[in-house]
Chain A
Amino acid sequence: MNQQLQTINPTIKAAAVFCCVVMLSFIYNPYTPACFYVIIVVGVLSAARISLKKWLLFTIPFLILAAGCMWTAAVFGKVPTTADNLLFEAGPFEINRENALVGISLGFRILCFSALSMMFIFTTDPILFMLSLVQQCRLSPKLAYGIIAGFRFLPLLKDEVQIIQQAHKIRGGASENGLKEKLASMKRYTIPLLASAIRKAERTAIAMESKGFTGSRNRTYYRTLTVAPRDWLFFLLVLLLFSVSFFISLCFS
């Protein structure tokens, strides 16, 4: 079972995630997203080799976000509070049953989104995703390879900031100790950082063209990506799991 998810065609994987997200957007009961969340987490952790620690670490920011959404929807929900549905009062706010349920639903919706996206990110090579978009969705190679070239810049970004920092040090720039000075230096770094990024981009473009790149569709691929029956199987499986959680929720309400 290990590494199974990693070999699914990236476009199909993205499409499956996309379908789930769209369907989730129409659901305001708390049971479906809650069920679905449990299913995804169990499924992903068993079908892809992702450590539990990593998963939890990445989930933390979403928990905060989910809590925020839950809170807002519960307090500012549009169902007016009546004597019937009043749950409890928190200071100046009155919280009623309907709004609270919607809040919980939104919270779990966000957790589902996060779980789906983590499933996608942890198991997909971005370059292969781009190539798959070119090969399966007829994305223009000019654009796709342009993006890949830009993507190459990502790991260099940290070094780039460090280099600018060092240059300012060496050339007698001010020392940055206080928070205020740090903020001021942020401003001083943005423009040089962007400028050097653009310069590198132009060089990369020259390198691409010097290797005969024209952006036309007439090219072969070293990494060919195909859609096999098992990819569709995966797609159907995801939809099936969603329907299962939907029917479970029907039993609850």
Chain B
Amino acid sequence: MKSWKVREIVVMSVISVVFAVIYLLFTHFGNVLAGFFGPMGYEPIYGIWFIVSIIAAYIIRKPGAALISETIAAFVECLLGNPSGPMVIVVGLVQGLGAEAVFLAARWRVYSLPILLLAGMGSSVTSFIYDLFVAGYAALSPGYLLLMLTIRLFSGALLAGLLGKVISDSLAYTGVLNGMALGKELKKKRKQVSQHAGF
């Protein structure tokens, strides 16, 4: 935590809080779907629950951003009244680990679209392994499980990776992120463009 500024932590935590509310809305929505279709009902929207780790990591670009933000979001969701209670914190931790692992593999230096998509899929994998054991999915038939995993991977890449990037970029455009790594990068890019235009 040493290299983090207080400002970065508070920003990360506030983003997590906002998304915790969104997560909870989706949890209830997912529960209704699951009521009809069983656990399969969750799969198409599963990626939305990883979005905070992508956004936080992409904006702040520090080791731990993906993991911690996802955990905070889960923590707040738990306080707001998620069905699985404190267990959801562990779920968040597991999902965050998946994304963080991808960023770690990229040495926390590369935040391109492919990496973000992979990070979303990373969360899909770890969360699936978790569900296999704790949610008792292990009791389901392998073919059904494979279908679930595939849908979840797509969902993770699109709803977390792609959507997360789109949201962060439009945020950076409004100028609120000027003090964060993403905003600074954007500023630098703009400067280069204007310099090129000048010559």
Map CB proximity to A onto B90-119 as digits: 1 under 8 Å, 0 otherwise: 100000000000000000000000000000
Q: Complex Cα distance A17/B174, Å?
A: 43
A191 contacts B35, CB within 8 Å? no
Q: How far is the CB of A133 from chain B (nearest CB, A)?
A: 10
Q: Which of A142, A195, A198, A208 is packed against the most chain B CB atoms within 10 Å? A: A198
B79 contacts A114, CB within 8 Å? no
Chain B residue nearest in CB terms to A109: B136
Q: Complex Cα distance A177/B6, Å?
A: 42
Q: Which of B14, B40, B134 is packed against the most chain A CB atoms within 10 Å? A: B14
**Would you call the interface of chain B mostly helix, strand, loop, or mixed?**
helix
Q: Which residues of chain B come closer than 8 Å to A78, judged between CB atoms?
A: 139-142
CB of B1 closer than 8 Å to a CB of A: yes
A198 contacts B171, CB within 8 Å? yes
Q: Which of B17, B21, B141 is packed against the most chain A CB atoms within 10 Å? A: B17
A75 contacts B38, CB within 8 Å? yes
B136 contacts A149, CB within 8 Å? no
Q: Complex Cα distance A151/B88, Å?
A: 17
Q: How far is the CB of B84 from chain A (nearest CB, A)?
A: 5
Chain A residue nearest in CB terms to B141: A78
A202 contacts B38, CB within 8 Å? no
A204 contacts B38, CB within 8 Å? no
B11 contacts A202, CB within 8 Å? yes
Map CB proximity to B onto A140-156 as digits: 1 under 8 Å, 0 otherwise: 10110011011101100
Map CB proximity to A onto B1-40 as digits: 1 under 8 Å, 0 otherwise: 1001111011111111110010000001001101111111
A117 contacts B85, CB within 8 Å? yes
A147 contacts B72, CB within 8 Å? yes
CB of A120 closer than 8 Å to a CB of B: yes
* Interchain CB contact (< 8 A) of A201 among B13, B41, B80: B13
Known: A146-B12, A194-B15. A68 touches B139 (CB 8 A): no
A213 contacts B136, CB within 8 Å? no
Q: Complex Cα distance A43/B11, Å?
A: 40
Residues of A41-55 at the interface with B, using a CB-CB cut-off of 8 Å, are none
Chain A residue nearest in CB terms to B17: A150
Map CB proximity to B onto A148-188 as digits: 1 under 8 Å, 0 otherwise: 01110110010000000000000000000000000000000
* Interchain CB contact (< 8 A) of B78 among A117, A146, A150, A199: A117
**Would you give 22 A-B contacts (Cβ < 8 Å), ordered by A?**
A21-B134, A28-B139, A62-B31, A65-B83, A72-B40, A78-B140, A78-B141, A114-B83, A114-B84, A117-B84, A117-B87, A126-B79, A142-B4, A151-B17, A157-B21, A197-B14, A197-B17, A198-B14, A198-B176, A202-B10, A205-B6, A215-B6
Please report B residues at the A interface, Cβ cutoff 8 Å.
1, 4-7, 9-18, 21, 28, 31-32, 34-41, 68, 72, 75-76, 78-88, 90, 133-136, 139-142, 144, 167, 170-171, 174, 176-177, 179
